[in-house]
Amino acid sequence: MTKRILFFFPENPFSNRAGNTTRAKTTLTVLKKMGYHIDLVGSAEIYKSQNDTTDIDKSIVDQLFLINHRPPKVKTSSDYWKHKISKFYKKPNEYNHLLTDFAKKEFINILNKEKYDAIIINYEFWAGLIDNESMKNTLKIVDTHDWITLNEFYKNKSLDIGKRFNEEINNLSKFDKVITISEDEHLVFKRFLGEKVINIPPSFTSHFEKNNTGKKYDLIFVGSENIFNIQSMKWFFDHVYPLLPQNIHIIIIGRICKHFQEREGVKLVEYAENLEEYYHQSKIAICPMLEGTGIKIKVIEALSYGLPVVGTERAIDGFPAKTSNGCLVTDNPDLFKDQIMSLLQDESSYQDMKIQVENYFKNNFSEEKAIEKWKNILH
């Protein structure tokens, strides 16, 4: 009999919007390839705020459910009055205002309609969805995506780190298995939560290409419009771009394009349905990240196409190995430029780096590796 998984991810994983949605989609793909029946649950408010459609890939997900954080404004409804009255005596969730009692009730109602073998919750701050006795015999898994305390600290330096990290560990402790995607975070959480913490790095199907001739772009960057990406590309344009020769061709893809103007040698593509053609048309991926936590999905995706990566030290956060990984890293703009130019001008060095990329990707980020790890958790 086919086993069933209830998979909660707040936004549409098929939106192709950013690294987090790509991560969720690749996880769903792996689980489907393992033969699971998967129902997807999202947050109605987040779908609305992101202008997400309810279109899903039916070859991967069987059904989509959306939960609301509050009931409809129907004054004859008991749910409406319970929610309204609760606001007078119950504080909203400090770290996730959408995680209300009503949202939890909607999630439980979905769970109780079917028999699920496992529940997978994406993000620690949605852990409250499993606070119900009816789930005690179901395997509960959280995919952390990130070290949330550190991520929030980067955005808010006045954050009470001790309080927030205590909340994070308490939330993670509710689960039977805790999935990290970064080796750095795996080491941190394992100290507090023990063997239930398992590292499953992001995985992709490989798209290696032997032909390196006729490439349209020298450099490619793919990114959403989060603050870390914006800071990173501003640093690149302020400090590295002026050092590069004028005949360099750069393509930037994603919503980050809203924050930059086209300039000589730079093409902006705000949305691409499929990144494959752009990666195959490019020689090198760049990742000049200055802040941010966790493994960089964009880096692994670039490696899956056999592209060498030139980045800052933050580009390889979470990697098991800091060298011989297909990436050249430096925080110095002059050296950043030199690394780009050495790959573009020395074909032998470029080909050696491509071999390194392919070997490192196969050994760490292939779908086969991810399936093997998920089998150990679910079987």
Q: Which domains does the chain have, with CATH numbers?
A: 4-203+367-378 (3.40.50.2000), 217-364 (3.40.50.2000)
Tell me the backbone φ, ψ of residue 189, rounded to 5 degrees: -65, -35
Element (H, E) at 186: helix 183-193
Q: What is the pLDDT of residues 125-151, one digit of tens each?
A: 999 999 888 888 899 999 998 888 888
- 266-269 vs 282-287, strand pairing mode: unpaired
Q: Does residue 297 have a pLDDT over 60?
A: yes
- Residue 119: strand pairing partners: 6, 140
Local structure of residue 213 (DSSP, 8 states) = S
Q: What is the pLDDT of residues 312-371, one digit of tens each?
A: 999 988 888 788 888 999 999 999 999 999 999 999 999 999 999 999 999 888 888 899
Residue 210 buriedness (CB in 10 A; 0-12 / 13-18 / 19+) = exposed
Amino acid symbol at 264: E
Q: Which residues contact 308 (CB under 8 A, 6 or more apart)?
A: 284, 285, 326, 327, 328, 343, 350, 353, 354, 356, 357
With vertex at residue 310, the alpha carbon angle to CA 309 and CA 315, rounded to the nearest 5 degrees, is 85
pTM above 0.85, yes or no: no
Q: Which residue has the higher pLDDT, 188 or 213?
A: 188
CA torsion through residues 274, 362, 60, 6, sign: negative
Which residue matches tokens 């048309």?
281
